[in-house]
Structure 1
Amino acid sequence: MAKLRHCCTVLLLLFTSVSAHSDFFTSIGHMTDLLFVERDLVSSLKDYVSAEEDKLQRIKRWADRLDALSTAGSQDPEGFLGHPVNAFKLIKRLNTEWAELESLVLTDVSDAFVSNLTIQRQHFPNDDDQTGAAKALMRLQDTYKLDTETISSGRLLGSSSVATTSSVLTMEDCYDLGKVAYSDVDYYHTELWMAQALKQLEQGEESSVVDAIAILDYLSYSVYQQGELERALAFTKKLLELDPSHQRANGNLKYFEYQLSKQKKLEVDDNDEEQRMWKENRGRRDDYLPERKQYEKLCRGEGVRMTPRRQSRLFCRYYDNGRHPRFVIGPLKQEDEWDSPHIVRYHDIVSERDMEKVKELAKPRLRRATISNPTTGVLETAQYRISKSAWLGAYEHPVVDKINRRIEDITGLDVSTAEDLQVANYGVGGQYEPHFDFGRVTDQ
């Protein structure tokens, strides 16, 4: 019990660094804290299980002893109670020992764990975080053209982590993703994830929460909303095979059949260009970015390719920036990334130790990144910027000042008029889509 209370205190201290923050899904840095908190909660849970097991063992010993006594006495009750010691002990057991056993059974060893969990839950991610993380998965799905099977199995190309059993989406996970899409009136992703949930259910996954009827209900409506009446009707019939009394499905069956008969009478041409374009672009986000296809191609590594001749003109070199005093003895490692416009990369500019110090300084101050509203000029959050950021001034730590001076030496620019060093930490499916990045000077 003392160990559980101690664990509760430790967890409370652990969360002081993140309790003031929200939007966990927008920052991997803050999500790492959640991993450690969960690990300590699991440790607390194991302590509770051990305490429960110890309690049950004590009760079992009581039961075994009392069973032996009552069995012996019931074989010859009168002879057994003829012995005055047996009579005394029977009365004593029923008067005091059973009361002690009752007290033991009623002892709630979960108090410390439940109290611990209750304290921590107020700092846990909320529904908005879960929704944000779900939308992030779907954003990655669209950007990298991943199918639901690939994501569900955890086999994500380019992922730095190895897929484990914890990286696999269960049927219930897929169902929840579909529900998030449905709540967002995103019927394209609703269909994809409900279909994946149904597939895993039919492959033998079990659930006490979700059944085929609930999945088919979402599936039929989502494909109907995308104009596919025949498939909507097929899913509805499949649902009614499982539950003939399903009220909504029976109503939908008649409606879909009626709409389908009307459609056939009008002889809708499936090759109609407008309908073809609609089907091709279904599920695409209708937002401000006309260059989205090119942008997503770049994310997938499908952008403009250099010819071998242009590639051959790119070099790596040691660079001293015109024999700058700081780089004469220790020149910079410079690499050509692109020829026109000329883009170069500098290697080993900041040491690992300095980077860790920057992260240490920034983490407690990370807040959801904002954009400036082009109309009002007010800072606000936006769905196309999924990250948290912090600002560090040169005066705050020698490391920040050293990085600023390093930038000056490399570029020849004066950072005294620049904004502070911005540290950005991206979350699940983190992104900052292409945007115009400039400031406005208001009239005085």
Structure 2
Amino acid sequence: MKFPAALTIFVIGLQIIICNAEYFSSTTGLEQLLRTEVILLAELQNYVNEITEHAEMLQSEINAIQAEHLSAADSIEGYLNNPVNAFRLIKRLHSDWETFESNVEQDASRKNYLEAMARHKENLSHPTLEDFTGTALAMTRLQQTYQLDVRELASGMLNGVKYGAAMSWQDCFVLGQQLYVMQDFNNTVPWLQQSMQLLVQQSYGKESASLDFMETVMGYHESMGDYQNAIHLINHVLAVQPEQRLHLLETRAHLEQLISDGVKRGLMHEVARSPDDYHSSNEYHMYQQVCREELKPEPATQRKLRCRLHRGNGLRSSYQPYRLEELHLDPYVIQVHDIISAEETIVLQQLARPELQRSMVYSLSNSEHISTNFRISQGTFFEYHEHPIMQRMSQHLENISGLDMRSAEQLQVANYGIGGHYEPHMDSFSENHNYGINTYMSTNRVATGIYYLSNVEAGGGTAFPFLPLLVEPERGSLLFWYNLHRSGDLDYRTKHAGCPVLMGSKWIANVWIRLSNQDHIRPCDLQRDHEISLPYKDFK
């Protein structure tokens, strides 16, 4: 019977090994986990081989004894009257069966396997509870942002494209269970529902152990106030074992009465999202619409845009003109194509991989760097002089913008992991930001450049909710815009986000240029010009 082994998966799956690494926030760490699983799979295969060999030995003994019994069945009296047969029977029961028991007790296969696993847990990469939680959040983030159907997602379909193997009923249950623990009850319901639908389809879906488990899941739905799915499971269980499950009749009648009375209680109704939650705001919904390409710029504004060859604004013009595409005029947003080669992007990824750490954001309360769930990626920083490619990247930006790159922050190379994203934010700092020491770093970020170091198969675009504009990652291109008005005031229209990566691995290199030393290059206007963006300052 397969079901007990399937249940064991839950026990193994939930014993998360704690270590210091973090794997869900970057795709690079997943390679280590895949290598870990290759080694663990080999250990499990060794164990199976050993117990198979032992089982085959025992099976040969069983076959020999069964042959004796078949021989005896023709004439039990005649068989036992044979002194040789009588001796062998007594001998088997006196000593052979003790030997069989001793062999089972002394079987070293289990001990060898557990000892090997213990060693591997100390030396190999394992995900933490934070990784498990982060992956569960990523799945629901992808669902909500791209409005994915749970059934399609569980079948390996992403936006109508089949990418990989389907999820098992156990996979769906463990995800639903984790979401239940995280009190994300609205997302718990469809995953538990999908789990039970898949279980019903299995060959052991009508066995007693399966029905017991369905009763357990029914309790989850009842506790959440999801009475319809609870009744659906009760009906299935009663259809299979009506006599043995009579206690469910009372439960079903009670739930049907609650539905009839319009009673809404349970965890889904008790743990409701706060009206002030940013994820319930119009701004956040606009961001999701841009990621789905449901919200786009007006055609009239698009007609004014142009593509052109650009030789540069810096002190040294480029010998090879840049292929510049205007994406938005006010605020000014451009994308420069084929600015670095595919080979250079790969080198940058290789340089960054050993140094990647969880990406941080500025805390609004104390200007410190912290990690948050609204930015899921890993990154590292480089000085531009550390590598010729980085020096060329700096020169490209100076040529294109004319800005003084001596006021640029370090280059940040970042990789986005499972459902990796960065919710809407401003690159420029708020008016009350504490800059600290008086250097070029004590001024605001006048401009941002994003070098795309990879293509992304699905998702992962850069979204500007207020423009509204979506820029797809294009390997080797540069996205550039100004964060500040000419007056130095914040341009709130430049709030932007990294859409969740649906399929693929997103690599970028961020460049932030400060306002210091730019007054002779991008001088302030005589009149303040920031009023046009003020409606977006406190947009809800």
TM-score by length of 2: 0.59
User: Partner residue of 1:31?
Assistant: 30
- C-alpha distance 34-336 of structure 1, shift in aligned 2 (>3 A): same
Alignment of 1:318-397 (within 5 A): 318-321=309-312, 325=316, 327-328=318-319, 330-397=320-387
User: Partner residue of 2:421?
Assistant: 431
Structure 1's unaligned 5+ residue stretches are: 1-18, 82-89, 225-229, 269-277
User: Partner residue of 1:174?
Assistant: 172
Alignment of 1:236-385 (within 5 A): 238=235, 241=238, 243-245=245-247, 257=257, 261=261, 287-288=277-278, 290=281, 291-307=283-299, 310-321=301-312, 325=316, 327-328=318-319, 330-385=320-375
Give the partner amino acid of 2:410.
Answer: D
3-state SS in 1 of match to 2:199: helix
* Backbone CA RMSD of aligned residues: 4.6
- C-alpha distance 284-234 of structure 1, shift in aligned 2 (>3 A): farther
Q: Identity rate of aligned residues, in percent?
A: 24
Task: State the distance in 1 between where 2:214 and 2:350 align.
Answer: 48
Structure 1 contact 372–380 (Cα < 8 Å) conserved: yes
3-state SS in 1 of match to 2:158: coil
User: Partner residue of 1:120?
Assistant: 120
Alignment of 1:10-49 (within 5 A): 21-49=20-48
Structure 2 contact 27–416 (Cα < 8 Å) conserved: yes
**Could you list the per-position Cα deviations for residues 351-391 of structure 1 after superposition, in whole angstroms to 9, with x for gaps in the alignment?**
22322222222222222222222113232221211122211
User: Partner residue of 1:146?
Assistant: 148
3-state SS in 2 of match to 1:211: helix
- C-alpha distance 48-409 of structure 1, shift in aligned 2 (>3 A): farther
Q: For residue 62 of structure 1, report the CA deviation from its aligned partner.
A: 8.2
> Which structure shows the bigger proportion of residues in helix conformation?
1
Structure 1 contact 171–205 (Cα < 8 Å) conserved: no
**Could you list the per-position Cα deviations for residues 206-231 of structure 1 after superposition, in whole angstroms to 9, with x for gaps in the alignment?**
4667732122222223235xxxxx74
- C-alpha distance 239-203 of structure 1, shift in aligned 2 (>3 A): closer
Structure 1 contact 321–410 (Cα < 8 Å) conserved: yes
User: Partner residue of 1:86?
Assistant: none
> Which structure shows the bigger proportion of residues in strand conformation?
2
User: Partner residue of 1:10?
Assistant: none
After alignment, is 233-242 or 143-152 more displaced? 233-242
Q: For residue 52 of structure 1, report the CA deviation from its aligned partner.
A: 4.5
Task: State the distance in 1 between where 2:203 and 2:420 align.
Answer: 31
Give the partner amino acid of 1:292.
Answer: Y
- C-alpha distance 192-54 of structure 1, shift in aligned 2 (>3 A): closer
Structure 1 contact 389–422 (Cα < 8 Å) conserved: yes
User: Partner residue of 1:196?
Assistant: 194
Task: State the distance in 2 between where 1:211 and 1:355 align.
Answer: 50
Give the partner amino acid of 2:145.
Answer: T
Structure 2 contact 214–233 (Cα < 8 Å) conserved: no
Alignment of 1:223-238 (within 5 A): 223=225, 231=228, 234=231, 238=235
User: Partner residue of 2:133?
Assistant: 131
Q: For residue 138 of structure 1, report the CA deviation from its aligned partner.
A: 1.0
Task: State the distance in 2 between where 1:62 and 1:255 align.
Answer: 56
Structure 2 contact 375–422 (Cα < 8 Å) conserved: yes
Structure 1 contact 190–219 (Cα < 8 Å) conserved: no
Task: State the distance in 1 between where 2:62 and 2:406 align.
Answer: 79
Structure 1 contact 240–250 (Cα < 8 Å) conserved: no
Task: State the distance in 2 between where 1:353 and 1:285 align.
Answer: 48
Structure 2 contact 314–399 (Cα < 8 Å) conserved: no
Task: State the distance in 2 between where 1:285 and 1:311 align.
Answer: 35
User: Partner residue of 1:185?
Assistant: 183
Structure 2 contact 308–324 (Cα < 8 Å) conserved: yes
TM-score by length of 1: 0.70
Give the partner amino acid of 2:221.
Answer: L
After alignment, is 110-119 or 99-108 more displaced? 99-108
User: Partner residue of 1:7?
Assistant: none
3-state SS in 2 of match to 1:386: coil
Structure 1 contact 190–222 (Cα < 8 Å) conserved: no
**Could you list the per-position Cα deviations for residues 220-271 of structure 1 after superposition, in whole angstroms to 9, with x for gaps in the alignment?**
23235xxxxx74884596489474446xx9689658847965x69xxx9xxx
Q: For residue 306 of structure 1, report the CA deviation from its aligned partner.
A: 3.5
Task: State the distance in 1 between where 2:366 and 2:197 align.
Answer: 48
Task: State the distance in 2 between where 1:231 and 1:288 align.
Answer: 30
Give the partner amino acid of 2:146.
Answer: Y
User: Partner residue of 1:12?
Assistant: none
After alignment, is 50-59 or 335-344 more displaced? 50-59
3-state SS in 1 of match to 2:420: strand
Task: State the distance in 1 between where 2:67 and 2:232 align.
Answer: 61
